């Protein structure tokens, strides 16, 4: 037995947890493994030291004796021999088990959780804002009723696979490495079905259509998901069913655009109303409301109607409705109306007042632009 400090051998603190010790051993064992260092006596010796240290420090009783009495205490207790190949396969066995979906199961049958499913549910904006109840139909794997999911014909039972002893995995060892793979005989089920069920042909599950009623909460938005636990595919070998995720898709609306909890829309306003002021009816999801438009309102001005938006599904304040004014140019004028506008335009030009501040500012900018070019 080596007399070196086991903590220094593994390069860990004396307060290191078992997980930290295991991680350090994996790193060093891979580094000094004889297969990676052929004909290197020093590497082989270090590999054995790492194994010694790992065996002691991951055994609670041995570690306590070592911490109190050192190597002498372990020698007095009796250490026992070891096999380097056993050590290597033990420390990495759980890793390979995770990779290949298995592990040591002590002869127990493997169970598999059913797959999760996704369903895209398309809603109108009003349905998303106020909530909705919808019936959805989808195809999924359900448990076979005649055999209760066992895959065996009524009156018969599956028997434990004698190749893997019900584990669904077989252990393949070559030199220092041990790898687990799916049992070739039972295909990972852990059982053999000699008399398959006529309905599911031994699979234990059938593909069938399923209808569910979905309660959509108020305020959902594009990309929100509703999780229905246990409504996905049925599990295998008694495993739990997967979940169904209903993903929300909200259709475009003819009037409103949504941004989180806020809504926006365009409000067409006549030339005279924008000039003189007045009121216009504005649609909201809760009904029409009157919007006061002050005189001399310019096209593009935005008015805010508080709490006329959406109540968020996850809580919080109700959003607002933003109304963008669009001044509408009159069309289909009569000759009399055109003449009145010409007279109105003439009076505007004769007046000494600045009736079009934006136009004047724009013209001044154009003049400065050309003056700059000429200079």
* Ligand-binding site membership of 183 (annotated): yes
Tokens for 335? 């000759």
Q: Which of 14, 6, 49, 13 is nearest to 29 (CA)?
A: 49
Give start and end residues of each alpha helix (H) in the chain: 6-10, 18-32, 41-57, 60-77, 84-99, 125-130, 271-276, 335-350, 357-374
Tokens for 217? 């909460």
* Ligand-binding site membership of 147 (annotated): yes
* Ligand-binding site membership of 323 (annotated): no
Q: In whole angstroms, give the CA distance from residue 325 to residue 318.
A: 23
Chain centroid offset of residue 168 CA: 30
* Ligand-binding site membership of 50 (annotated): no
Tokens for 208? 């069938």
Contact 34, 43 (CB under 8 A): yes
Q: In whole angstroms, give the CA distance from residue 169 to residue 112.
A: 14
DSSP codes joined into one string, 46-110: HHHHHHHHHHHHTSHHHHHHHHHHHHHHHHHH------HHHHHHHHHHHHHHHHTT----TTPPP
Binding-site residues, in ranges, read: 144, 147, 161, 164, 183, 186, 197, 200
Binding-site residues for Zn(2+), in ranges, read: 144, 147, 161, 164, 183, 186, 197, 200
């Amino acid at each position: 037995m080596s007399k070196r400090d086991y903590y220094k051998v593994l390069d860990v603190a004396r307060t290191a947890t078992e997980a930290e010790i295991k991680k350090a051993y994996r790193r060093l064992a891979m580094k000094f493994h004889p297969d990676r260092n052929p004909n290197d006596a020093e590497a082989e010796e270090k590999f054995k030291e790492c194994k010694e240290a790992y065996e002691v420090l991951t055994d609670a009783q041995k570690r306590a004796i070592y911490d109190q009495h050192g190597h002498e205490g372990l020698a007095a207790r009796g250490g026992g021999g070891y096999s380097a190949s056993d050590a290597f396969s033990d420390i990495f066995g759980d890793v390979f088990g995770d990779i290949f979906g298995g592990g040591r199961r002590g002869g127990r049958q493997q169970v598999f959780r059913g797959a999760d499913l996704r369903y895209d549910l398309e809603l109108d904006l009003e349905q998303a804002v106020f909530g909705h109840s919808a019936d959805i139909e989808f195809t999924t794997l359900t448990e076979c009723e005649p055999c209760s999911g066992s895959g065996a014909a009524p009156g018969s039972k599956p028997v434990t696979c004698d190749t893997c002893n019900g584990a669904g995995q077989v252990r393949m060892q070559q030199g220092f490495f041990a790898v687990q793979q799916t049992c070739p005989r039972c295909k990972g089920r852990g059982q053999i079905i000699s008399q398959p069920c006529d309905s599911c042909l031994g699979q234990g599950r059938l593909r069938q259509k399923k209808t569910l009623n979905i309660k959509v909460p108020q305020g959902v938005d594009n990309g929100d998901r509703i999780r229905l636990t246990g409504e996905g595919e049925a599990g295998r070998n008694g495993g739990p069913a997967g979940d169904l995720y209903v993903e929300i898709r909200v259709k475009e609306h003819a009037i409103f655009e949504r941004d989180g909890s806020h809504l926006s829309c365009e409000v067409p306003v006549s030339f005279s109303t924008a000039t003189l002021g007045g009121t216009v009816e504005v649609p909201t999801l809760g009904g029409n409301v009157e919007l006061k438009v002050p005189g001399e309102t310019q096209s593009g001005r935005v008015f805010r109607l508080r709490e006329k938006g959406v109540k968020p599904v996850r809580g919080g304040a109700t959003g607002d409705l933003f109304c963008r004014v669009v001044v509408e140019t009159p069309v289909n004028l009569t000759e009399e109306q055109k003449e009145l506008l010409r007279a109105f335009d003439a009076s505007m030009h004769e007046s000494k007042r600045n009736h079009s501040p934006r136009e004047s500012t724009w013209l001044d900018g154009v003049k400065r632009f050309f003056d700059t070019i000429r200079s």
